[in-house]
Amino acid sequence: MSTVNTSVFEQTAELKESYLCDALDYDRDHIWHPYTSMTKPLPTYLVESAQGVKIKLADGRELIDGMSSWWSAIHGYNHPVLNSAIEQQLKKMSHIMFGGLTHQPAITLAKKLVDITSASLQHVFFSDSGSVSVEVAIKMAIQYWHAQGKKDKHRLLTVRQGYHGDTFAAMSVCDPVNGMHSMFKGILAEQIFAPAPECLPDGSSNIHKVEELLQKNHLSIAAVIIEPIVQGAGGMRFYCQQYLQDLRALCNQYNVLLILDEIATGFARTGTLFAYEQADIEADILCVGKALTGGYLSLAATMTTTKIAQGISADGSGVLMHGPTFMANPLACQVANSSIDLLLQSSWAEKIQQIENQLMKELMPCSELAMVRDVRVKGAIGVVELKEPVDLKQIQEKLVEQGVWIRPFNQLVYIMPPYIIETDELSKLTSAIVSVLTV
């Protein structure tokens, strides 16, 4: 068995090389990475540190980050303000149970979230990850209808090509084919799927497909769940605000709740603080996570209206049936408070617009390439969709050789960089994409 000794970094190049091999061997033999095989894993790169938009590998190479650690590190890494928020909180307490106790970081964060989201969202449930916040949202919807005496309303309607997380209820509303969870068919709750949103330039869309399903099934549907404006991990698809407006109206008409999953899109990624603002609608239940803590710690929140909170409370024991051990972790809440302040104090709208303009200009030439099906940009998200899935190992190596960290999946090569990225750094990301796709 190999031993991993961090002090070796101060030693000779030879020792460092052997440490690197040992560490990577141990990692490969013992640790699962996301969606990987234990016996035939793809290579991983050992990271020593990260600063601003740069990731420093243990072998000395430096990569410009194009992923924001999956939508989360919006202010970049090792940010002095966020570091300090954690250090200050650490001196008081890193964690305390939330059953029967509360603390200022959670109260301040709840106030901030209530302030920056729709006026109707007044109640907050903190949990430890995006997937769990989706579980909680689904529970809220089901418990609400249960309290109304409508116990048959327990199914979810959603659209194809969505992604809402990897826990069981969350998996049940991911795309049943490409949502990475098709092997669980028959085990997951069977939900109702409309086609993925399609919008035409004149504003018309395939929302009538949702209407048909609601008309037929509304008595058994508790809620519609959807990622507003941008469908993330299920295909990096963008759709129009009119679709969301029509969806809101249909939910009202058929008496079903609307859950908006802003876990990926929240905190300015699409150009507005929350993507739903572009459609000028309000959710009955809203999930946020990822960039909530600026990518520092795992934290998510599920928010809802007074009508739903009171509805749930009127039933039986009146309690919402959830309570994770690390609920409202004070370190996570405190860094979230600082991250939201940092964002709101910055000229984020201008910055996202600049990133969007640059992505448009520098990625659009990819549409001329033979292997490319589509190029699209929304806010600080740039997507190059290929005709065929990428060879991940090969393209990853080429991107790392170009000095960038971009993690493609299936036929998607996409970036969503930290908002602090400079023009020349963003150009390095886009030119690396153009270069690896040019054969």
Ligand X SMILES: Cc1ncc(COP(=O)(O)O)c(C=O)c1O
Give the residue ranges of DSSP H helices in 218-347: 241-253, 306-313, 330-345
β-strand partners of 374: 385
Which residue blocks in 148-283 are alpha helix, DSSP H? Answer: 168-172, 207-217, 241-253
- The two tokens of residue 78 are 């090792």
**What's the sign of the alpha-carbon dihedral 270, 271, 272, 277?**
negative
Q: What are the structure tokens assigned to 286, written together?
A: 């809203």
374 catalytic per annotation: no
Q: How far apart are CA 405 and CA 429, in angstroms?
A: 8
Helical pair 241-253 and 207-217, crossing angle rounded to 10 deg = 10
CB contact at 8 A, 175 and 323: no
Cα distances (angstroms) measured from residue 327 to each of 246, 391, 411: 35, 39, 37
User: Measured from the CB of residue 353, what is the shortest distance to ligand X in angstroms?
Assistant: 23
Helix or strand (DSSP H, E) at 122 = strand 121-127
Q: How far is the CB of 105 from ligand X (least distance, A)?
A: 20
Q: What is the distance between the alpha carbons of residues 389 and 218, in angstroms, rounded to a whole number?
A: 37
Distances (CA, A) of 84 to 81, 87, 112, 338: 5, 5, 19, 9
Q: Least Å distance between CB 248 and ligand X?
A: 18
Q: Give the whole-angstrom CA distance, residue 48 versus residue 41.
A: 21
Interatomic CA distance for residues 185 and 62, integer angstroms:
42
Judged by beta carbon, residue 76 or residue 228, the one nearer ligand X is: 228
Q: Report the C-alpha gap between 395 and 414 in whole angstroms.
A: 13
The residue from 19, 77, 144, 163 that is catalytic is 163
Residues that bind ligand X (CB under 6 A): 70, 129-131, 134, 163-165, 227, 232-233, 261, 263-264, 289
Q: Is 232 or 379 the residue whose CB approaches ligand X more closely?
A: 232
**CB of residue 200 vs ligand X: minimum separation in angstroms?**
25
What's the closest the beta carbon of residue 71 comes to ligand X, in angstroms? 7
Closest approach of Cβ 316 to ligand X, in Å? Answer: 29
Nearest distance in Å: CB 113, ligand X: 17
C-beta closer to ligand X: residue 65 or 362: 65
Query: How far does CA 175 lie from the centroid of its chain?
Result: 16
Backbone angles phi, psi at 193, to 5 degrees: -115, 130
The smaller minimum CB distance to ligand X, of residues 333 and 432, is found at 333
Question: What is the Cα–Cα distance from 247 to 6, expressed in whole angstroms?
Answer: 53
Give the residue ranges of DSSP H helices in 156-258. 168-172, 207-217, 241-253
Residue closer to ligand X by CB (options 237, 428) is 237
Q: Is 175 among the catalytic positions?
A: no
Q: Which of 290, 414, 419, 428 is catalytic?
A: 290
- Nearer residue to ligand X within complex by CB, 45 or 70: 70
Nearer to ligand X, 281 or 436 (CB): 281
Cα–Cα–Cα angle for 31, 34, 35, rounded to 5 degrees: 110
* Residue nearer to ligand X on the CB measure, 271 or 311: 271
Report the residue number, 176 or 311, with the smaller CB distance to ligand X: 176
Chain-centre distance for alpha carbon 298: 12
Q: Is 209 one of the catalytic residues?
A: no
Query: From the CB of 413, what's the least distance to ligand X, in Å?
Result: 17
Residue from 65, 246, 261, 284 carrying the catalytic annotation: 261
Q: Position of tokens 């650690």? A: 69
Q: Whole-number minimum distance, CB 261 to ligand X, in Å?
A: 5
Instruction: Decide if 35 is catalytic.
Output: yes
Residue 360, token pair as written in the block: 């448009």
- The answer to whether the CB of 262 falls within 8 A of the CB of 276 is yes
Active site members? 35, 163, 261, 290
